[in-house]
Amino acid sequence: MNEAAVNALTLDDALKHFFGHDAFRPLQREIAEAVLAGDDVLALLPTGGGKSICYQLPALLQDGLTLVVSPLIALMKDQVDSLRVNGVAATFLNSSLDASEAMERLDALDRGEYKLLYVAPERLVLPAFLASLDRWDLRRIAVDEAHCVSEWGHDFRPEYRRIHSLRERYPDVPLLAVTATATAQVRDDVERFLRLRSPRRFVASFDRPNLCYSVFEKRDALKQLLAFAMKRTNESGIVYVASRQSAEDLASRLSAAGIPARPYHAGLLPRERSRTQDLFIRDEIRVVCATIAFGMGIDKPNVRYVVHYDVPKNVEGYYQESGRAGRDGLPSDCVLFFSGGDAAKQRHFIRQIEDPGERERANRLLLRMLEFAATPHCRRAYLLHYLGEDDAGDACGNCDNCLQPPERVEATRAAAMLLSCVYRVRKHSGFSTGAHHIVAVLLGQAAEKVITWGHDRLPTFGAGKEHSKDEWLALISELLRLGWLEQEPDYRTLLVTDEGVRALKEQRRFEFAKPRVLQKASRARKSGAQPTADSYEQGLFEELRRLRKRIADDQGVPPYVVFSDATLRELAAKTPSTLEEFRAIGGVGDVKLERYGDAFVAAIGAYQSFEAVETTP
């Protein structure tokens, strides 16, 4: 289709022609229309909400170049690969290109051959680049991951503050800022630092109804993770951890269990990180065990689960990281392993912050994260209320607390007994002990150290026999979360805090939600319009996935760039037998129809013929 014909397309026609979608997602049309009108725009859409289309479609429907500022090299490449497969003239300029490649792209830009150009913010201060940009008929600027401009955001990038120089250099060029999550403070910073002029604000719901949020008590977390992952050996997942060593250890253990996994953290060489990322997006490995250094540059839509092995520092970071699951809209899991010991460890790190204001802010953010972990109410509602959606409702039907309401435990007497035991052990011996020793004293176990240290003579020895070891450990975890107990980070010994002493003296009433153990968790899901394992032919889906992988490898692109899992599931459910039927499938645009239609229709026909032969008596 020539440029004049493209310019004559409506938004709906262009959406189907290039991207294969029959309908816009919430606010996409409104944002695209505002961009086409030349307004400055601030758009907040959830991960998987289709932010990129909001500036890609306007770029295709009007003359000139759209400049896209993107934070990471890998993200640029993924997006450009996806656009090219859809027949869109797009490119990027970054340090991954050698001199000849860069020169070829610069020459093509001089000839006006590209509609979209992706660059990193660092390039915006290079005089040679700016001189070239003056020649390229710049029509609009799109800033992806715009929250990076704010120190209040979880991914602050100082170089994003340089973007305002484009506004000064090109005062008449409209600017669109897009992000997946931003608090009110971050939104104000985006407008201020990018110098948006009376921007039109679009804020979609941050609800991700396909994500199932669950929190499990952290008991032998390695075994829990292995049990969880072994049920999903053919699915892609991300495991977030607090330390580099944990990333290394967990990746090794998962690989030994037959689940291809690799670590990702800032201590690895850039080429190692790049290799891991490449293997992951190409489905060569199933799991990445990573610190928070991983994820923002990943455009992989078929991540079926995200596990937080350690408690995050704040809710906004948790929402962003967990949101990397299920970007294709299919059912996916977001799991948090939680223990009070993790909370105590985070508080220890916060106490090392020298600035009082920053220390207080970190404490407030952590407190909200701990509230999320402990809430007996709807987790989705908690997240949405945190993100400013006051009409989020009270029950989503697709989190652990909605699917399986937790049992409330009245534990006033047990909490007082536990605090008293920790206090008496330290007072008697002059030193603190760990959680398992305290539980042994409460249960009246004549362990060697209990006897040697004389803790069998304490009033609390054997006073807690009506509770099990697991129940005492769960209560310790809860009191650590509340800050009534404190755990020394190196030796993991317990102390009663000043707040715990006050709670003991005031005889405060105490109850909490009984924590879940992973193995007992329900796998039920909220019913909805998305295809499920029961509504499509699993064998055909796997055959189409293998075909997709072969095509992607031949073309040197990630499999999801060819077709998403959602498209493959729809193909496996509807089994189109003609190209006309094939085009009606979501995610099939005209270019992909021409490139891949015959191969996929033939594969579906061959599978059906084989199945018919197999089932013939």
Q: What is the pLDDT of residue 71?
A: 83
Instruction: Please determine, for residue 533, whether its predicted confidence score (pLDDT) is greater than 50.
Output: no
Whole-angstrom distance, CA of residue 597 vs CA of residue 614: 26
Tokens, residue 230: 């072994």
Whole-angstrom distance, CA of residue 341 vs CA of residue 514: 17
Detail the DSSP E strand segments found in 314-429: 332-338, 408-410
Instruction: Please determine, for residue 615, whether its predicted confidence score (pLDDT) is greater than 60.
Output: no
Q: What is the pLDDT of residue 248?
A: 96
At residue 237's C-alpha, the angle toward residues 231 and 240, to 5°, is: 115
Exposed e or buried b per residue across 286-320, where buried means at least 16 C-beta atoms within 10 angstroms of its C-beta: bbbbbbbebbbbbbbbbbbbbbbbbbbbbbbbbbb
For residue 317, give every residue at least 6 positions away whose Cβ sits within 8 Å of its Cβ, in sequence order, or none: 154, 292
Q: What is the pLDDT of residue 130?
A: 93
Domain 3-203 and domain 211-406, same fold? Reply is yes
Q: What is the pLDDT of residues 349-377, one digit of tens each?
A: 898 998 888 888 888 899 899 989 988 88
CA distances from 174 to 122, 138, 198, 440, 448 (A): 20, 10, 11, 67, 74
* Region of residue 71 (left: phi > 0; alpha: psi -120 to 50; beta: else): alpha
Q: What is the pLDDT of residue 616?
A: 53
Check: CB of residue 174 under 8 Å from CB of residue 140: yes
- Which value, in Å, is the radius of gyration of the alpha carbons in the chain? 27
Which one-letter amino acid corresponds to residue 116?
Answer: L
Give the phi and the psi of residue 281 in degrees, each rounded to 5: -70, -20
Average of per-residue pLDDT across 166-189: 88
* Range with top average pLDDT, 178-187, 273-282, 402-411, 543-552: 543-552
Check: CB of residue 361 under 8 Å from CB of residue 84: no
Which of the residue ranges 99-113, 314-328, 478-492 would you say has the lowest mean pLDDT?
478-492
Give the phi and the psi of residue 493 in degrees, each rounded to 5: -90, 155
Give me the residues paired with residue 408 across strands: 513
Q: How many helices (H) and strands (E) does the chain have?
A: 27, 17
Q: What is the pLDDT of residues 192-235, one digit of tens each?
A: 999 999 999 999 888 999 999 999 998 888 999 999 999 998 89
Q: What is the pLDDT of residue 4?
A: 66
Q: What is the pLDDT of residue 517?
A: 74
Q: How confident is the model at residue 530 (pLDDT cuts 50, 70, 90)?
A: very low
Q: DSSP code of 516?
A: P
Q: What is the pLDDT of residues 27-48, one digit of tens each?
A: 999 999 999 999 999 999 887 7
Q: Tell how strand 511-513 and strand 408-410 pair up.
A: antiparallel
For residue 389, give every residue at least 6 positions away whose Cβ sits within 8 Å of its Cβ, in sequence order, or none: 205, 206, 207
Q: What is the pLDDT of residues 411-448, one digit of tens each?
A: 999 999 999 999 999 999 999 999 999 999 999 998 99
Of 336, 362, 338, nearest in space to 349 by CA = 362
Query: Alpha helices, DSSP H only, in 160-240?
Result: 164-169, 184-193, 221-230
State the virtual CA torsion across 259, 262, 264, 269 in degrees, nearest 10. Answer: 180
CA distances from 536 to 143, 209, 256, 392, 575 (A): 38, 21, 32, 32, 9
Average of per-residue pLDDT across 596-605: 96
For residue 504, give every residue at least 6 positions away whose Cβ sits within 8 Å of its Cβ, in sequence order, or none: 416, 419, 420, 423, 496
At residue 295's C-alpha, the angle toward residues 289 and 301, to 5°, is: 100
Whole-angstrom distance, CA of residue 261 vs CA of residue 248: 10
For residue 492, give every residue at least 6 positions away whose Cβ sits within 8 Å of its Cβ, in sequence order, or none: 341, 434, 435
Average of per-residue pLDDT across 444-462: 93
Instruction: Please determine, for residue 81, whether its predicted confidence score (pLDDT) is greater than 80.
Output: yes
Q: Which fold has domain 538-615?
A: DNA polymerase; domain 1 (1.10.150)
Check: CB of residue 225 under 8 Å from CB of residue 247: no
CA distances from 466 to 158, 462, 463, 472 (A): 56, 9, 8, 10
Between 433 and 4, residue with greater pLDDT:
433
CATH number for the domain formed by residue range(s) 3-203: 3.40.50.300
Greatest alpha-carbon pair distance for the chain in Å reads 90
Between 316 and 605, residue with greater pLDDT:
605
Q: H/E element holding 295?
A: none
Instruction: Please determine, for residue 534, whether its predicted confidence score (pLDDT) is greater than 50.
Output: no
Which of the residue ranges 141-145, 173-177, 611-615 would you say has the lowest mean pLDDT?
611-615
Spelled out in words, what is the top-level CATH class assigned to the domain 211-406?
alpha beta
Strand order, beta sheet including 175-179: 90-93, 116-119, 65-69, 138-143, 175-179, 41-44, 200-203
Q: What is the pLDDT of residues 371-411, one digit of tens each?
A: 899 888 899 999 998 888 877 777 899 999 999 998 888 89
Q: What is the pLDDT of residue 296?
A: 54
Of 512, 484, 155, 506, nearest in space to 347 by CA = 484
Sign of the dihedral through C-alpha 571, 576, 577, 578: negative
* Of the options 3.40.190.10, 1.10.645.10, 3.40.50.2000, 1.10.10.10, the CATH number for the domain spanning 409-515: 1.10.10.10
Instruction: Please determine, for residue 297, whether its predicted confidence score (pLDDT) is greater than 70.
Output: no
Query: Alpha helices, DSSP H only, in 176-233?
Result: 184-193, 221-230
Q: Tell how strand 65-69 and strand 41-44 pair up.
A: unpaired
pTM: 0.83
Q: What is the pLDDT of residues 481-527, one digit of tens each?
A: 888 999 887 778 999 999 999 998 998 888 888 788 775 333 434 43
Q: DSSP code of 17?
A: I
Which of the residue ranges 97-111, 119-133, 146-160 would you say has the lowest mean pLDDT?
146-160
Q: What is the pLDDT of residue 23?
A: 92
Domain boundaries, the chain: 3-203, 211-406, 409-515, 538-615
Q: What is the pLDDT of residues 138-161, one digit of tens each?
A: 999 999 989 888 877 667 788 888
Q: What is the pLDDT of residue 522?
A: 38
Instruction: Please determine, for residue 304, whether its predicted confidence score (pLDDT) is greater than 70.
Output: yes
Q: What is the pLDDT of residue 7?
A: 67
Whole-angstrom distance, CA of residue 331 vs CA of residue 212: 7
Whole-angstrom distance, CA of residue 282 vs CA of residue 609: 30
